[in-house]
Amino acid sequence: MYVAVKGGEAAISHSLELLADKRRGARSITELSLEQIDQQLGLAVDRVMTEGSCYDRLLAALAIKQARGDLVEAIFLLRAYRTTLPRFGDSLPIDTTEMLAERRISATFKDVPGGQVLGPTFDYTHRLLDFSLAAAGERPPAPTAPTDSVVPVPRVGDILQRDGLLEPPPQQADQEADNAEDLTRQPLLLPASRPLRLQNLARGDEGFLLALGYSTQRGYGNNHPFVGEIRYGSVPVSFVPEELGFAIEIAEIEVTECDMVNQFAGSHDKPPQFTRGYGLAFGHAERKAMAMALVDRALRAEELAESTTSPAQDEEFVLAHSDNVEASGFVQHLKLPHYVDFQSELVTVRALREEVEKRNREAALGAAALGKAAE
Amino acid sequence: MQDASRDSGVESQAYNYAYLDEQTKRMIRRAILKAVAVPGYQVPFGGREMPLPYGWGTGGIQVTAAIVGRDDVLKVIDQGADDTTNAVSIRRFFAKVAGVATTTRTDEATIIQTRHRVPETPLAEGQIIVFQVPIPEPLRMLEPRETETRTLHALSEYGVMQVSLYESIARHGRIAKTYNYPVMVNGRYIMSPSPIPKFDNPKLDRSPALQLYGAGREKRIYAVPPHTPVKSLDFDDHPFEIERWDECCAVCGARDSFLDEVIVDDTGKRMFVCSDTDWCERRR
Amino acid sequence: MTPILSASGLTKRFGNRAACRDVGFELWPGEVLGIVGESGSGKTTLLNCLAGRLRPESGSVVYDSAAYGPVDVHDLSEARRRLLSRTEWGFVNQDARDGLRMGVSAGANIGERLMAVGARHYGDIRRTAAEWLERVEIEQDRLDDRPTTYSGGMRQRLQIARNLVSHPRLVLMDEPTGGLDVSVQARILDLLRGLVERLHLSAVLVTHDLGVARLLTHRLMVMQGGRVVEQGLTDQVLDDPQDAYTQMLVASILPV
- What DSSP designation does B150 have? H
Cβ B34 vs Cβ B220: under 8 Å:
no
Cβ A283 vs Cβ A50: under 8 Å:
yes
The verdict on A320 touching B (C-beta cutoff 8 Å) is yes
**Model confidence at A310: pLDDT above 50:** yes
Which range, A64-78, B262-276, C2-16, has the best average confidence (pLDDT)? A64-78
B206 and B133 in a single domain? The answer is: yes
Using 50, 70 and 90 to split pLDDT, how confident is the model at B11?
A: very low
| Chain A from 18 to 77: CB within 8 A of any B CB | 34-35, 56, 58-59, 62, 76
Using 50, 70 and 90 to split pLDDT, how confident is the model at A83?
A: confident
Task: Name the CATH superfamily for C5-88+168-251.
Answer: P-loop containing nucleotide triphosphate hydrolases (3.40.50.300)
Using 50, 70 and 90 to split pLDDT, how confident is the model at B283?
A: confident
Give the per-residue pLDDT at C186: 87
B170 and B109 in a single domain? The answer is: yes
Cβ B121 vs Cβ A165: under 8 Å:
no
The verdict on B172 touching C (C-beta cutoff 8 Å) is no
Judged by phi (left if over 0) then psi (alpha if -120 to 50, else beta), residue A120 lies in beta
Cβ A108 vs Cβ A226: under 8 Å:
yes
In a domain, B139, yes or no: yes
Using 50, 70 and 90 to split pLDDT, how confident is the model at B7?
A: very low
End of a domain among B190, B206, B230?
A: B230
B102 and B172 in a single domain? The answer is: yes
Instruction: Provide the residue range defining the domain that includes A159.
Output: 96-120+149-322
Give the per-residue pLDDT at A149: 61
B175 and B257 in a single domain? The answer is: no
B121 and B261 in a single domain? The answer is: no
Give the per-residue pLDDT at A267: 67
Chain C contact set for A267 (CB, 8 A): 15-16
Element spanning A259, H or E: strand A248-265
In a domain, B2, yes or no: no
In a domain, B146, yes or no: yes
In a domain, B238, yes or no: no
Chains that touch B (3 or more CB pairs under 8 A): A, C
A162 and A55 in a single domain? The answer is: no
In a domain, A132, yes or no: no
Q: Please, which residues have CB within 8 angstroms of residue B18's CB and are 6 or more apart in sequence?
A: B25, B64, B65, B66, B68, B94, B97, B98
A69 and A101 in a single domain? The answer is: no
Give the per-residue pLDDT at B13: 52
pLDDT tens-digit readout, C70-82: 999 999 998 899 9
Chain C contact set for B159 (CB, 8 A): 86, 112-113, 115-116
Cβ C47 vs Cβ C174: under 8 Å:
yes
Using 50, 70 and 90 to split pLDDT, how confident is the model at C17?
A: confident
Beta bridge partners of B263: B270
For all residues of chain C together, what is the average pLDDT? 92
B260 and B129 in a single domain? The answer is: no
SS3 C145: coil
pLDDT tens-digit readout, B92-136: 999 989 999 999 999 999 999 999 999 999 999 999 999 999 999
B248 and B217 in a single domain? The answer is: no
A189 and A111 in a single domain? The answer is: yes
In a domain, B222, yes or no: yes
**Least confident span in A136-140, A161-165, A325-329, C250-254:** C250-254
Percent of chain B with pLDDT over 70: 95
pLDDT tens-digit readout, A244-276: 999 999 999 999 999 999 988 776 677 888 999
User: Which among B81, B195, B271 has the least Cβ separation from residue A341?
Assistant: B195
Using 50, 70 and 90 to split pLDDT, how confident is the model at B1?
A: very low
Number of domains in chain A: 2
Percent of chain A with pLDDT over 90: 60
Instruction: Tell me how far apart the alpha carbons of residues B52 and A210 are, in angstroms, rounded to a whole number.
Output: 27
Beta bridge partners of C17: C14
**Model confidence at C69: pLDDT above 80:** yes
Q: In sequence order, what E strands does chain B have?
A: 43-44, 73-78, 101-102, 111-115, 128-132, 183-185, 189-191, 210-215, 220-224, 230-232, 259-263, 270-274
**Least confident span in A80-89, A317-326, B194-203, B209-218:** A80-89
In a domain, A210, yes or no: yes
Q: How many residues are given for chain C?
A: 256
B183 and B124 in a single domain? The answer is: yes
A199 and A69 in a single domain? The answer is: no
B21 and B130 in a single domain? The answer is: yes
A62 and A109 in a single domain? The answer is: no
In a domain, A40, yes or no: yes
In a domain, B127, yes or no: yes
Instruction: Tell me how far apart the alpha carbons of residues A183 and C197 are, in angstroms, rounded to a whole number.
Output: 58
End of a domain among A27, A56, A84?
A: A84
Give the per-residue pLDDT at A204: 98
**Model confidence at C253: pLDDT above 90:** no
pLDDT tens-digit readout, A272-301: 889 999 999 999 999 999 999 999 999 999
| Peptide bond connecting B229 to the previous residue in cis, omega within 30 degrees of 0 | no
For all residues of chain A together, what is the average pLDDT? 90
Candidates B2, B49, B282, partner chain A, best to mutate (most A CBs within 10 A): B49
pLDDT tens-digit readout, A128-155: 899 989 888 888 888 877 766 667 888 8
Contact A8 B84 (CB under 8 A): yes
A61 and A159 in a single domain? The answer is: no
Listing from the earlier edge strand, what are the strands of the sheet with A226-239?
Answer: A100-105, A226-239, A248-265, A273-282
Instruction: Tell me how far apart the alpha carbons of residues C4 and C100 are, in angstroms, rounded to a whole number.
Output: 26
Number of domains in chain B: 2
Give the residue extent of every domain in chain C. 5-88+168-251, 103-167
Using 50, 70 and 90 to split pLDDT, how confident is the model at A172?
A: low
In a domain, A59, yes or no: yes
Residues of B with a catalytic annotation lie at 40, 249, 252, 274, 280
Instruction: Provide the residue range defining the domain that includes B108.
Output: 10-230
Pairing relationship of beta strands A226-239 and A248-265 according to DSSP bridges: antiparallel
A298 and A192 in a single domain? The answer is: yes
In a domain, A128, yes or no: no
User: Which among B1, B44, B176 has the least Cβ separation from residue A348?
Assistant: B176
A160 and A72 in a single domain? The answer is: no
Instruction: Tell me how far apart the alpha carbons of residues B256 and C210 are, in angstroms, rounded to a whole number.
Output: 70
Chain A residue at shortest CA distance from B20: A84
**CATH number assigned to the domain comprising residue B73:** 3.40.50.11310
ipTM of the prediction: 0.88
Candidates B158, B160, B166, B236, partner chain C, best to mutate (most C CBs within 10 A): B166
